[in-house]
Amino acid sequence: MIAVIAALPGELKPLVRDWQRVEPNIWTGHIAAHEAIAIAGGMGATAAARAVERASAQGKLDALISYGWAGAVTCALKPPAAYAISEIVDHGSGERFITRTPDGVRLVTLDHVAGINEKRPLAETHQAVLVDMEAAAVARLAAENRIPFYCFKGISDAYTDNLPDFARFISAEGRLRLAAFLAHAAIRPIYWPSLARVGRNSGIAASNLARLLSKSFPATL
């Protein structure tokens, strides 16, 4: 079985459109003729680890895929494009994880949404082009359990987008407390243009991501 680990249901929506929904944030279906389970486990490393554990409880995993939205940390990549990831760097620990897709790009995992002034230093320090909050946690568990690991990310926000830190609005379960977040953003117009762009780009990025996965994932493992 292949396990696709995402943070939010919106990241998975185009992929699981024809799959069976077995729980509010869990779907089962097929990828390249392989049985698959997709879980929107919540934002952050802890939520991603719980999602991997949940997937593992369903049976032996033949592959783990970290999947979903990421932010650009250079102007070289722009939303709503989608990319395979070849290497992941954990910003906190410095660990590096290689995926089964050698011709992809490098991503850095951070424990919060990267602020606009953090993006260039992240790119320079790690020679990375994308940033997310979950991929390193999934990669670490794949390595520990010797499970083939892949990562595919769609760009939701550009290098120049200035977003609020979502971390303070994430529940213990990894869910975004949307009402509190919207109330925070509503009185801070500095974020409005970027949030509007992210809203437009995210759905397209998710569709591009689903097409990329369907095209890129091997027929045999």
Give the domain CATH number at 144. 3.40.50.1580
CB-based burial label for 181 (10 Å; 0-12, 13-18, 19+): middle
Per-residue pLDDT of the chain (221 residues; tens, 9 = 90+): 999 999 999 999 999 999 999 999 999 999 988 999 999 999 999 999 999 999 999 989 999 999 999 999 999 999 999 999 999 999 999 999 999 999 999 999 999 888 889 999 999 999 999 999 999 999 999 999 999 999 999 999 999 998 887 777 777 777 777 788 788 888 788 888 888 898 899 999 999 999 999 988 776 56
Does 221 reside within a domain? no
C-alpha–C-alpha distance, residues 20 and 18, integer Å: 7
Q: Angle of helix 45-56 relative to helix 135-144, nearest 10 degrees?
A: 40
Report which of 4, 56, 57, 60 is spatially closest to residue 32, judged by C-alpha positions.
4
Domain count, the chain: 1
The model's pLDDT over 22-57, given as tens digits with 9 standing for 90+, comes to 999 999 999 988 999 999 999 999 999 999 999 999
C-alpha–C-alpha distance, residues 161 and 56, integer Å: 36
Domain that holds residue 90: 2-216
| Residues present in the chain in total | 221
> How far from 216 is each of 36, 100, 190, CA to CA, in Å?
15, 11, 38
Residue 50 near residue 40, CB atoms below 8 Å: no
DSSP code string of 196-209? HHHHHHHHHHHHHH
Does 47 reside within a domain? yes
Count of other CB atoms within 10 angstroms of residue 104 = 20
